[in-house]
């Protein structure tokens, strides 16, 4: 027979069984994918709740996934964000598998396809008809074509974000079928096109997306000087444009200047663009906050263009110049007129020396972060930062041969609160204040992979930002603590 003490212990030991399913699901959502899988092995109840509370899923989309789809999605029946990724050397899922998934995930809002080369236009049509609530589509290294893309645009009126990279099924040349605008054009806010043979065939979609806020074009062939005037005549709400290695000149920049709400402009490796085009944008786009220019050492953008920015864009907060040769003349005007400039990067410039750094130290009172790479500065320029830029918190110097470790040490000694990172470019990296939080350069959190269902089938929750995880975890603990206190109180009352 159990003693009275043992009975009391048994009565108090299992609070988790008294937790409601919603509370347990909240706990699971605060765990890593690996820990969630371990929890699902504890008992049948935890297996059921873990599956029903998982909204993000990533699967290895090889052909052997097809027969496992019913069992996987009967367990994970609440998935709204799905990633299907296939190895380039493997045979991927086909149209039937994608159609089967769409029939079981009709509430899907996000879909990511990577290297699913066996999907055709027919498969995308079947998917689009079943998942009309789709809000975000990202596809890369797939082989379906314009018909498949148009099927999504015609059947998913809630689509807000579209990202397309290396879509092999698009025909190059005049015979290419135009893409868009479709029903989705009215809701699209973000379009990102990368490495497309005939990116210009997306022109009708971009022109029809009247509520577009962000446009990214990276290595997309086409005559964009011809398209940008048509785009800007129709799309007036755009605030962010990224252009890299595309065929655009001052004609395109003149058209972009009509977007009066533009706040962010990235002009990267477009060697035909000159000071005149940049000046046109600066003159009209007075709300510009972030400007990135990679001049590719073409010397077509320099002081004249930057002076135009300084005169008209007083709200500028971030300026990145790569392969551009500004002098003290333009930098002094930028520092004087752009009083909100907080982040400045000068890379690969032959004209940025100690005099320019002294000018920045004296004039840029709001500057918080400064990055200098491959510029002819020396320790004298570093010394100027000791007494200038009162709000400066971080300095990064890379491959500047005139700057020595002694110069960096002197700066640290004279400004103890300043984080100084010196990279000599010769496997020597000297860093101070390692406690400063740093990002990975692309703003993308790491993705964690896991295994479910069967061997060879990978699954994971899509990575979330650290701050979101921390807030969720803390919130979950608070919720758990309150629940446990209530349960303990009720048990104590019942025993008394």
Q: Report pLDDT digits (tens) over 341-355.
A: 999 999 999 999 999
Instruction: Identify the H or E element spanning 470.
Output: helix 466-495
* CA separation for the pair 125, 174 (Å, rounded): 24
Residue 465: its pLDDT value, please? 41
Main-chain phi, psi angles of 202, to 5 degrees = -85, 0
Grouping H, G, I as helix, E, B as strand and the rest as coil, residue 345 is: strand
Higher pLDDT pick, 3 / 462:
3
- Residue 68 pLDDT greater than 60, yes or no: yes
* CA separation for the pair 31, 477 (Å, rounded): 11
Which residues does residue 397 pair with via DSSP β-bridges, in sequence order?
A: 372, 422
8 A C-beta contact, residue 450 and residue 460: yes
The residue count of the chain comes to 496
β-strands 318-322, 290-294: how paired? parallel
- Residue 21 pLDDT greater than 90, yes or no: no
8 A C-beta contact, residue 123 and residue 98: yes
Residue 467: its pLDDT value, please? 41
Half-sphere exposure of 156 (CA within 13 A, CB side): 31
- Residue 171 pLDDT greater than 50, yes or no: yes
Residue 2: its pLDDT value, please? 53
Q: How confident is the model at residue 170 (pLDDT cuts 50, 70, 90)?
A: confident
Grouping H, G, I as helix, E, B as strand and the rest as coil, residue 165 is: strand
Q: How confident is the model at residue 192 (pLDDT cuts 50, 70, 90)?
A: very high
Nearest to 368 by CA among 399, 344, 336: 344
DSSP class of 441: S
DSSP class of 31: S
Residue 489 makes CB contacts below 8 A (sequence gap 6+) with none
Average pLDDT over residues 82-103: 94
Secondary-structure class of domain 15-54 per CATH:
mainly alpha
* CA separation for the pair 274, 276 (Å, rounded): 5
Nearest to 289 by CA among 260, 317, 257, 309: 317
- Residue 99 pLDDT greater than 90, yes or no: yes
**pTM beyond 0.85:** no
Average pLDDT over residues 265-283: 97
- Residue 282 pLDDT greater than 90, yes or no: yes
Residue 451: its pLDDT value, please? 35
* CA separation for the pair 458, 62 (Å, rounded): 10
Convert the pLDDT of each residue in 331-344 to its tens digit: 999 999 999 999 99
Share of the chain above pLDDT 70, in %: 82
Q: For the chain, which residues make up each domain, given as ranges?
A: 15-54, 342-425
Residue 197: its pLDDT value, please? 87
Mean pLDDT of the residues in the chain: 85
Lowest mean pLDDT among 201-205, 318-322, 443-447, 455-459: 443-447
* CA separation for the pair 217, 215 (Å, rounded): 7
Higher pLDDT pick, 258 / 460:
258
Share of the chain above pLDDT 90, in %: 69
Residue 88 makes CB contacts below 8 A (sequence gap 6+) with 115, 141
* CA separation for the pair 61, 140 (Å, rounded): 13
Average pLDDT over residues 405-419: 92
Convert the pLDDT of each residue in 367-406 to its tens digit: 999 999 999 999 999 999 998 999 999 999 999 999 999 9
* CA separation for the pair 149, 122 (Å, rounded): 10
Supply the DSSP string of 64-86, one letter for each residue.
Answer: GGGGGHHHHHHHSTT--EEEEE-
Residue 464 makes CB contacts below 8 A (sequence gap 6+) with 445, 472
Nearest to 445 by CA among 460, 433, 423, 456: 460
* CA separation for the pair 443, 439 (Å, rounded): 7
* CA separation for the pair 235, 228 (Å, rounded): 10
Convert the pLDDT of each residue in 151-161 to its tens digit: 999 999 999 99
Supply the DSSP string of 92-136, one letter for each residue.
Answer: B--HHHHHHHHHH-TT--EEEEES-TT--HHHHHHHHHH-TT--E
Average pLDDT over residues 10-35: 76
8 A C-beta contact, residue 165 and residue 191: no
Q: How confident is the model at residue 175 (pLDDT cuts 50, 70, 90)?
A: low
Record: fold of 342-425? 3.80.10
Q: How confident is the model at residue 223 (pLDDT cuts 50, 70, 90)?
A: very high
Q: How confident is the model at residue 470 (pLDDT cuts 50, 70, 90)?
A: very low
Main-chain phi, psi angles of 381, to 5 degrees = -65, -40
- Compute CA distances 352 → 16, 104, 327, whole Å: 64, 59, 6
């Amino acid at each position: 027979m159990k003693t009275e003490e043992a009975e009391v212990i048994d009565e108090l030991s299992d609070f988790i069984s008294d937790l409601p399913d919603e509370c347990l699901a909240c706990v699971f959502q605060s765990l890593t994918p690996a820990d969630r899988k371990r929890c699902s092995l504890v008992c049948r109840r935890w297996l059921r709740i873990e599956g029903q509370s998982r909204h993000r899923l990533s699967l290895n989309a090889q052909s052997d996934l097809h027969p496992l789809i019913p069992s996987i999605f009967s367990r994970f029946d609440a998935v709204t964000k799905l990633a299907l990724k296939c190895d380039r050397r493997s045979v991927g899922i086909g149209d039937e598998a994608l159609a089967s998934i769409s029939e079981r995930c009709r509430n899907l809002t996000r879909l990511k396809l990577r290297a699913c080369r066996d999907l055709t236009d027919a498969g995308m049509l079947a998917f689009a008809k079943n998942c009309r609530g789709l809000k975000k589509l990202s596809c890369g290294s797939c082989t379906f074509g314009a018909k498949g893309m148009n099927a999504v645009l015609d059947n998913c009126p809630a689509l807000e974000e579209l990202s397309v990279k290396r879509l092999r099924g698009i025909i190059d040349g005049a015979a290419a079928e135009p893409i868009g605008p479709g029903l989705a054009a009215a809701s699209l806010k973000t379009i990102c096109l990368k490495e497309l043979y005939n990116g210009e065939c997306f022109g009708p979609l971009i022109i029809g997306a009247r509520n577009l806020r962000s446009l990214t074009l990276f290595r997309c062939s086409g005559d964009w000087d011809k398209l940008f005037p048509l785009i800007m005549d129709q799309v007036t709400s755009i605030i962010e444009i990224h252009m890299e290695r595309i065929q655009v000149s001052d004609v395109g920049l003149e058209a972009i200047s009509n977007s009066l709400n533009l706040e962010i402009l990235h002009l990267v490796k477009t060697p035909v663009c000159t000071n005149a085009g940049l000046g046109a944008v600066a003159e009209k786009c007075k709300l510009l906050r972030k400007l990135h220019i990679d001049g590719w050492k073409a010397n077509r953008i320099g002081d004249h263009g930057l002076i135009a920015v300084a005169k008209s864009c007083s709200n500028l907060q971030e300026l990145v110049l790569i392969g551009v040769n500004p002098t003290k003349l333009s930098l002094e005007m930028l520092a004087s007129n752009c009083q909100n400039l907080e982040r400045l990067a000068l890379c690969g410039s032959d004209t940025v020396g100690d005099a320019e750094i002294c000018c920045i130290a004296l004039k840029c009172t709001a500057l918080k972060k400064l990055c200098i790479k491959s510029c002819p500065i020396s320790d004298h320029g570093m010394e100027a930062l000791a007494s200038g830029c009162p709000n400066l918190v971080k300095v990064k110097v890379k491959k500047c041969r005139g700057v020595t470790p002694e110069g960096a040490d002197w700066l640290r000694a004279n400004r103890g609160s300043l984080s100084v990172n010196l990279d000599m470019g010769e496997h020597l990296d000297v860093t101070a204040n390692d406690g400063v939080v740093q990002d990975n350069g692309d703003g993308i959190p790491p993705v964690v992979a896991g295994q479910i269902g069967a061997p060879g089938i990978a699954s994971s929750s899509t990575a979330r930002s650290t701050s979101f995880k921390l807030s969720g975890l803390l919130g979950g603990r608070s919720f758990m603590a309150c629940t446990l206190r209530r349960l303990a109180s009720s048990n104590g009352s019942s025993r008394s």
